[in-house]
Amino acid sequence: MNTIDIKSLSLTELTKEMETIGQPGFRAKQIYEWLHQKLVTSYDEMTNLSKELRSVLAKDYPLTTLYEVDSLKSSKDETIKYLFRLMDNRVIESVLMKYNYGNSVCISSQVGCKMGCKFCASTIGGKERDLLPSEMLEQVYRIQALTGERVSNVVIMGTGEPFDNYDYLMKFLRLLTDPSGLNISARNITVSTCGIPDKIRAFADEEMPITLALSLHAPNDEVRMKLMPVALKYSLSEVMEAFKYYYDKTGRRLTFEYSLVEGINDDPVHAKELSGLVKGLNCHINLIPVNPIKERDFRQTKNDRVRNFKKILEKNRINVTIRREMGADINAACGQLRKSYIDGNNI
């Protein structure tokens, strides 16, 4: 008998599965609450189930669990970066960021990434596999359990392209927002994409009030192609049209991520062009001074140029902020801790 990933099942699916082994419907609800509210990692903790049932579940429905390999806590703020080991011994990273409105967790959606963005450490080595819904959930669950503090916001902006793992992403989002589970509001969730137009449109048609963030990083196709291979497949006009469709369907303000790379995309001309690109949109731009990685020779834009870039956008009445550098002293940028671990252990 093939084992079933029980933590990836909806309550309806779990109820049907329990019926196949002769269990009443209320058992499914009990198990679901243990998994998605009490966040247990072992059937032995499910004390309102019989030992016989727990034995059957452990044999045929193994629990997906993440194991903490390492964690780094920032001395500048309360950011914590976690390295988790999956059950197949691959490793992924997640980040806890504390804000005045609550705890936010940035999770990975894949092991590695195939998108090839030139400034990102997580794409070095390519994509190994997609993460299961349960493995995405577990990043949130383990961090909440480890800290003893509720996670109120989730950002799918870690390693991987979420829309390259679309079906599992959607299942994860529905489980995460389920009132019978952790019940995180869809409005407190952000999904970041490098821009896959057909998936953006499909996501819009789901009509979930989730914030969508586009990894833009350039005001035109020429510059974007230098930084992001995905731009060779999809033009900026295609991506922007899909993004506008998302706004029309959901009414959610659009977010654009713009990593500033010295000498590549940080000129005042780029700021003016960017202003024109997003003019008239209900949007917000996050300016992100790029985190240098040793495998690339990109340099971080100097602070005065970052501020000047921001001023130009503001003069054009664009809503813009310079992203606060959370965990800058612990290599909290995407993929850096994982890569250091893999390199250090010759994995």
What pLDDT, in 10s, does the model give residues 117-175?
888 877 888 999 999 999 999 999 999 999 999 999 999 999 999 999 999 999 999 99
Distance CA 212, CA 250 (A): 10
On the 0-12 / 13-18 / 19+ scale of CB atoms within 10 A, 232 is exposed
Q: Which of 68, 93, 194, 222 is catalytic?
A: 93
Q: Is the Cβ–Cβ distance between 39 and 145 less than 8 Å?
A: yes
Distance CA 192, CA 160 (A): 10
pLDDT digits (tens, 9 = 90+) for 274-299: 999 999 999 999 999 887 665 567 78
Cα–Cα distances (Å) from 110 to 40, 138, 183, 280, 292, in that order, read 23, 13, 23, 34, 22
pTM of the predicted model over 0.75:
yes
d(CA 40, CA 48): 13
Q: How far, in Å, CA of 58 to CA of 43, rounded?
A: 7
CB 97 within 8 A of CB 147: no
Which residues fall within 8 angstroms of residue 12, CB to CB, at 6 or more apart? none
> What is the phi/psi pair of residue 246, to 5°?
-60, -45
Give the domain 67-344 fold.
TIM Barrel (3.20.20)
Contact assessment for residue 323 and residue 288, using Cβ atoms and an 8 Å cutoff: yes
**Domain boundary assignment for the chain:** 6-60, 67-344
Verify whether residue 334 is a known catalytic residue: yes
How confident is the prediction for the chain on average, in pLDDT? 92
93 is known as an active-site residue: yes
Residue with tokens 């994995």: 347
Q: In terms of CATH architecture, what is 6-60?
A: Orthogonal Bundle (1.10)
Task: Tell me the pairing of strands 80-85 and 110-112.
Answer: unpaired
Assign 300 a pLDDT band (cuts: 50, 70, 90). Answer: confident
Task: List the Cα angle 121/258/319 in 5-degree steps.
Answer: 150
- Starting at the edge strand found earlier in the chain, the sheet holding 80-85 runs 67-73, 80-85, 91-99, 102-107, 151-156, 189-193, 211-215, 254-260, 283-289, 320-322
Bridge-based pairing state of the strands 211-215 and 127-130: unpaired
**pLDDT digit string, tens, across residues 63-120:** 999 999 999 998 878 899 999 999 999 999 999 999 988 999 999 999 999 998 888 8
